[in-house]
Chain A
Amino acid sequence: GENVEQHPSTLSVQEGDSAVIKCTYSDSASNYFPWYKQELGKGPQLIIDIRSNVGEKKDQRIAVTLNKTAKHFSLHITETQPEDSAVYFCAASRGAAGNKLTFGGGTRVLVKP
């Protein structure tokens, strides 16, 4: 089955700096890669996703890059703000509807004012 590794497990950045989280996956058939943000006591919120037919996707201050050859993908957050502090999870899936997601271990991001 699929295995997703996520690094780092914790990340502390100064407000305004950039944050980068990296994930690797094992199943070469995976073609859907979402990122979720989870605040304390809440459910995960989908913040951005990418499919294997593109290498990069951007939405305001967040971007995701995908390298299918190397089987890794990354989340980039620019101009970080205190409200970006949360736990971020990457996931991978074969993209057909109804297929399960395999999650990484999560990254706890702390943005210091």
Chain B
Amino acid sequence: GAVVSQHPSRVICKSGTSVKIECRSLDFQATTMFWYRQFPKQSLMLMATSNEGSKATYEQGVEKDKFLINHASLTLSTLTVTSAHPEDSSFYICSANPGGGYNEQFFGPGTRLTVL
């Protein structure tokens, strides 16, 4: 149980294009999903918290117009990197919290974004 998937696992795009990453909770409903960014050999950096049906809460320094988050259902959240540039290249990971009063987060396998 508690499986989270991400799609795509890898994406290479040209500078200036937009990329959408999907995060799905496969066997539970996620009241809250989180998006992280991870640089090589570093810890996870929280970008934003998203709750189904409401606007995402972004961490300080994260541009909400660049990283668009949509949490349309209890099993799906999407992150769109708009007008991507090489400095946006990173490993993006989502996690999902099943709710029910506990704070466990189950992580997806991550998406490697490379912007040329």
Asked if B32 is an interface residue, CB under 8 A from chain A, the answer is yes
Contact between B105 and A101 (Cβ–Cβ < 8 Å)?
yes
Q: Which residue of A lies closest to B111 (CB)?
A: A43
Q: How far is the CA of A89 from the CA of B93 in the complex (A)?
A: 15
Majority secondary structure of chain A interface residues (helix, strand, loop or mixed): loop
Contact between B106 and A46 (Cβ–Cβ < 8 Å)?
yes
Question: 1/0 per residue A27-62: CB within 8 Å of B?
Answer: 000001010100001111110010000000000000
Q: Which residues between 61 and 96 of chain A lie within 8 Å of chain B, taking CB atoms?
A: 89, 93-96
Q: How far is the CA of A43 from the CA of B31 in the complex (A)?
A: 20
Q: Which of B6, B105, B110 contacts A34 (CB 8 A)?
A: B105
Contact between B103 and A95 (Cβ–Cβ < 8 Å)?
yes
Given known contacts A44-B107, A98-B31, is B49 in contact with A89 (CB within 8 Å)?
no
Task: Give the residues in chain B near A43, CB-CB below 8 Å.
Answer: 4, 6, 93, 95, 107-110
Asked if B100 is an interface residue, CB under 8 A from chain A, the answer is yes
Q: Which residue of B lies closest to A106 (CB)?
A: B43
Return B39 CB to nearest CB of chain A, in Å. 12
Contact between B109 and A97 (Cβ–Cβ < 8 Å)?
no
Q: How far is the CA of A93 from the CA of B44 in the complex (A)?
A: 14
Contact between A100 and B34 (Cβ–Cβ < 8 Å)?
yes
Chain B interface residue bracket vs A: 20 to 34
Q: Which residues between 40 and 54 of chain B lie within 8 Å of chain A, taking CB atoms?
A: 41-44, 46, 49, 51
Q: Which of B49, B93, B107 contacts A100 (CB 8 A)?
A: B49
Q: How far is the CA of A2 from the CA of B6 in the complex (A)?
A: 28
Task: Give the residues in chain B near A97, CB-CB below 8 Å.
Answer: 31-32, 97-103
Question: 1/0 per residue B76-102: CB within 8 Å of A?
Answer: 000000000000000001010111111
Asked if B27 is an interface residue, CB under 8 A from chain A, the answer is no
Q: How far is the CA of A55 from the CA of B44 in the complex (A)?
A: 26
Task: Pull 7 A–B residue pairs with CB atoms less than 8 Å apart, ordered by A.
Answer: A44-B93, A49-B104, A89-B43, A89-B44, A93-B103, A97-B97, A97-B98
Task: Give the residues in chain A near B99, CB-CB below 8 Å.
Answer: 97-98
Q: Which residue of B lies closest to A9 (CB)?
A: B41
